[in-house]
């Protein structure tokens, strides 16, 4: 087996606990330092990251819909004006 493929397979099987552990550690550090504004921003980013990690197929479908609607089809619908 290729060395890089082995690391990729291991990482993909263990990515969910790694992400949750990282979120908990960073959240606790921000909480202990009493940085509430940074903690709120981090919580929003963490929710997005958890969505990417725990639902990759749904994320892929959503991103493709956004891309096809904005880039491929030309963005906002044409109003027929000049």
**CA-only gyration radius of the chain, Å:** 19
Tell me if the pTM is above 0.75. no
pLDDT digits (tens, 9 = 90+) for 47-62: 988 888 888 888 888 8
Q: What is the pLDDT along the chain (82 residues), one digit of tens a residue?
A: 577 888 888 888 888 898 899 999 999 999 999 999 999 999 999 998 888 888 888 888 888 888 888 877 665 555 554 5
CB atoms within 10 A of CB 61: 11
């Amino acid at each position: 087996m290729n060395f890089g493929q082995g690391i990729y397979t291991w990482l993909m099987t263990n990515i969910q606990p790694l992400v949750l552990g990282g979120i908990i550690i960073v959240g606790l550090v921000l909480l202990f330092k009493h940085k509430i504004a940074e903690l709120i921003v981090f919580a929003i980013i963490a929710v997005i990251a958890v969505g990417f990690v725990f639902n990759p197929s749904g994320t892929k479908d959503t991103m493709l819909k956004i891309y096809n609607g904005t880039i491929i089809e030309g963005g906002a619908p044409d109003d027929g004006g000049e």
